[in-house]
Structure 1
Amino acid sequence: MNTIQQGSGQKYIIKNPTLWALTIIVGLSCATYMPSIVSILPVMAREFEGVENIDFWIKLLVTMPGFVAAMVAPIVGRWLNLYGKKNIFIASILGLSVIGFVPYFLDSIYLIFASRCFLGFVQAGIITSTTALIASNTIGQQRAKMMGYHASAYGFGPIIGLLVIGYLGDYGWRSAFYIFLFPVLLLPFIIKYIQPIDLNDPKPIPDSAQTEQSIFKAYPKLYFIYFMTFVTVILTFMTVLHLPFYLTSLGNIQPSDIGLAIACWTGFKGTSALLYKQAKFRLNFNQVFALAFFILGIGFMGIWFTHSYYQVLIALTIIGIGTGLLLPNINTWLAEIVPEHDRGRALGWIVTFMGLGQFLCPIITQPLINLFGLPQTFASFGLLLMASAFFLYKKAL
């Protein structure tokens, strides 16, 4: 445990076991998180090839939970204060297991699609509750450190899911959904080790916080933070949605190969998130975004030059390094400018913009890929990212 002295003279204890347990559990539960099924999408597309526009429907299986999360996240954000962060987290983990396993029994792509929609509630609950728990248990540099570790859990956790689902997918796409039974085993550890406390706002909630004042008016920087959240998710899902199909086009690629490739991306994403504290120590928030965009631009442009499986792996490692810096930077900046009494609402809107980006990604990018081709589309985005990096590095917000 660490003792922190605040300006009032009071001492508050940071419960590291709570933070580490939360980070580890999030990582393990993310083994079954929504994008993990990307490795079996091509197999599912062949299974339902008689369905009109099946390629589009298959990709919506990954992105539709984000759209639902976008709609319900502001409500879930308010539930954090009404029902408790820990209770929302427990309900979300249970829902991840129950709802996630349902497609195993379904023979209709439309019913599978409906079940994935319900996962949007789970997605909103996991993201808001875990981020709020870490934000209210940390302050200062430790917050930046733990947000980095938290984001790395979202990077390393899905490696397990991607590899397991990929290899199970070799024996049939239904078998892959067995992994969704795993998160329920984490519930005893959540109940025992995660103890929510609020270090950051020991004083009573001010009267102004009781009103329905727009958080956008109260904290104008949220406009930029939410915009960057939307962009971050678009870039992330461009990678996980389209590259599995691009890999398949290279010939003789199995679901396990796709799982390994995306696991490589998410592994470097997690490693990069672990290094976020060092980047934030030397750069301001805007400059961290610039660094991430510059690295992402190199990786996206690299797709243009790929003609083999291993060349795509190299590009994915670079993309992963850039992606890993984005989420902890967003969460740390939000936690720094929004006090505890408004943080639930602010985090709810974070998930809304994440969900919108997740849902709109194929709608925005698929027509471009159809028109210009995947390598050309990724290269164009790469050039735009590198140009944006120079602008962000110089601009002060």
Structure 2
Amino acid sequence: MEQTETPPPGRRVALAVLGLSAMTIMANATVASSLPGLKRHFADVAGIDTLAGLIVTLPSLAVVITAGLMGWLADRMDRQKLLAFVALCYGLGGTSGLWAESLNAILAGRLLLGVGVAGTMTLGMTWSADLWQGAARARFLGLQGAAISVAGIVFMLTGGALAGLHWRGAFAVYALILPVAVLALLALAPYSRERRRAAPVAKGMARQAGFPWAAFAFVGSLGFVFQAAFYITPTRLPFRLEELGVANPLAVGALMAALVAVSAPVSLAYGRIRRHVSAMSVFGLSFALIGAGFVAHALAQDWHGVLAGSVIAGLGMGLSMPNYTTWFLARVPMAMRGRASGLLTTAFFLGQFASPLVSAPLVAHLGLAGAFGAVGGTLIGLGLLLAVAQIWWPEQARPETAPAAVS
């Protein structure tokens, strides 16, 4: 059981952790609008079509490879030093498109960006679990989910506007890590000193409790499925819209952004929802809603049906994201939360990376509408299965009653 809640940190600390979390959303999509200009600039490079695609996917691959290591380091070294290192990786790698002269250098920069994203996301998740407990943690993680959604919209729009000026322009958005990292280094310094003093006791308690591998197997599998299914939206929905006669890039972007826009207010309400509904019920409901949204995409006859599907799926996304962290990290001893955050980050990004590989054979055999329908039906079935599991293994609704955490 978690200990009695301590007062939550002040606004400056909250802004610092929210800033770190928001920066992770930019890893892939921010520079998508720069790809046509990049392809024209490097038109003489062999295999430019494939290499341009790697600009988007390489950061996810780097996160999958390094997030576990970042979690291990977060539990064993000074987090301020680790934050400074990953922020440097993020800044240098992210802005590589501004200054690198060769495509290979930009691709290397994207890998370095992935290392930075792995570190910032893991640290943001770990600090969220360490500094907020119980119901306060659920409220903060809901706020974090909303901040990530809003940041995604703002950063993608900013990247598109800057890419309109020059194809290198979108890469400048990644420089925002510098003020965010400085704020975090200053705001979180007292907590890092306190953590170092408490480390021996926390490690002793963690050794007694052990790492909750069974809990990770459950939540990591769900997180992988969630991301693998959800990332069918950015990779396949534009082509589904083209089938329906919607080809205007602005209209396509608006219909896809509707999903993220809906998820933000739902994430904000997550703390209140969890006072009345168990985490397992939230898992089931979120999968069912995302699945229903995908079925709407499959059945759509025009853009109105796609918009309805995006709104429904957005409700599920808003519920889902804070639920993974709340449920899992409440079961992890304090001295192991870095490792837990790194593993959860790995599961998420592995799902993102695998999504096009999973959807490709479905599209090939069923078509775009059929693929959305098949995935949607599967997610609805998974949601119902989790609802049945809640009946068999009931769980208290309030997050502060979750077991086995050491704060």
Given the two structures, how large is their TM-score scaled by the length of structure 1?
0.84
Three-state SS of the structure 1 residue aligned to 2:19 is helix
Which residue of structure 1 aligns with residue 201 of structure 2?
204
The one of 354, 367, 370 aligned to 1:376: 370
Q: Residues 144 and 161 (structure 1 numbering): CA distance in 2 closer, same or farther, change over 3 Å?
A: same
- 1:36: Cα distance to partner? 2.9
Structure-2 change in CA distance of 1:33 and 1:351 (3 Å): same
Instruction: Look up the equivalent residue of 1:204 and give its one-letter code.
Output: V
In the alignment, structure 1 residue 298 sits paired with structure 2 residue 325 = no
Distance in 2 between the 1:52 and 1:377 partners?
A: 32
Tell me how far 1:207 sits from its aligned partner.
4.0
Cα distance in structure 1, aligned partners of 2:99 and 2:234 = 25
Q: Which of 136, 140, 143 does residue 146 from structure 1 map onto?
A: 140
SS in 1 for 2:95: helix
| Distance (whole Å) between structure 2 residues aligned to residue 276 and residue 298 of structure 1 | 20
Give the number of aligned pairs: 385
Contact kept? 2:241, 2:303, Cα under 8 Å: yes
In structure 2, what is the equivalent of residue 22 of structure 1? 16
**Structure 2 CA distance, aligned partners of 1:231 and 1:171?**
38
Note closer, same or farther for the CA distance 1:289–1:89 as it changes in structure 2 (3 Å cut).
same
Residue of structure 2 aligned with 1:388, choices 373, 377, 382: 382
Q: Tell me the equivalent position of 2:65.
A: 71
Computed over aligned residues only, the root mean square deviation of the Cα atoms, in angstroms, reads 3.2
Q: Give the distance between the partners of 1:141 and 1:353, measured in 2 at CA.
A: 25
In the TM superposition, residue 126 of structure 1 has moved relative to its aligned partner by: 1.3
C-alpha distance in 2 between matches for 1:54 and 1:366: 21
Kept after mapping to 2: 8 A contact 1:162/1:263: no
| Correspondence for 2:155 | 161
Q: Structure 1 residue 349: deviation in Å?
A: 1.2
User: Is 2:248 aligned against 1:253?
Assistant: yes
Aligned to 2:326: 332
Q: How has the CA–CA distance of structure 1 residues 107 and 318 changed in structure 2, closer, same or farther, with 3 Å as cutoff?
A: farther
Alignment partner, residue 347 of structure 2? 353
Using the TM superposition, give the Cα deviation of residue 295 of structure 1 relative to its aligned residue in structure 2, in angstroms.
Answer: 0.8
Q: Report the secondary structure of 2:248's partner residue.
A: coil
> Counterparts of 1:1-397 in structure 2 under 5 Å?
6=3, 12-26=6-20, 29-30=23-24, 32-41=26-35, 58-105=52-99, 111-195=105-189, 196=191, 204-205=201-202, 207=204, 209=206, 215=211, 218-247=212-241, 250=245, 252-254=247-249, 256-306=250-300, 308-309=302-303, 311-396=305-390, 397=393
TM-score, with length taken from structure 2: 0.82
Contact 2:98 2:168 (C-alpha < 8 Å) held by counterparts: yes
CA shift in 2, pair 1:48/1:357, >3 Å: farther
C-alpha displacement at 1:284, in angstroms? Answer: 1.6
Query: What amino acid maps onto 1:138 in structure 2?
Result: W
Deviation at residue 232 of structure 1 after TM alignment: 1.7
Shift of 1:59: 4.5
Look up the equivalent residue of 1:140 and give its one-letter code.
Answer: G
- 1:262, CA displacement in angstroms? 3.6
Q: Deviations over 1:247-273 (max 9, x none)?
A: 46645423x545444433222222221
Q: Output one character per residue of 1:9-28: Cα deviation in whole Å (capped at 9) or x when no partner.
A: xx844313254213442365
Measured after TM superposition, the shift of residue 144 of structure 1 is: 0.9
Shift in Å, 1:46: 7.5
2:163–2:170 Cα contact (<8 Å) kept: yes
Q: 1:115 Cα deviation (Å)? A: 2.6
Q: Which range is displaced more, 51-60 or 277-286?
A: 51-60
Shift of 1:131: 0.8
* Offset from partner CA, 1:46-104 (integer Å, 9 cap, x none): 77788888766555433332222122122111211333334433433343232112124
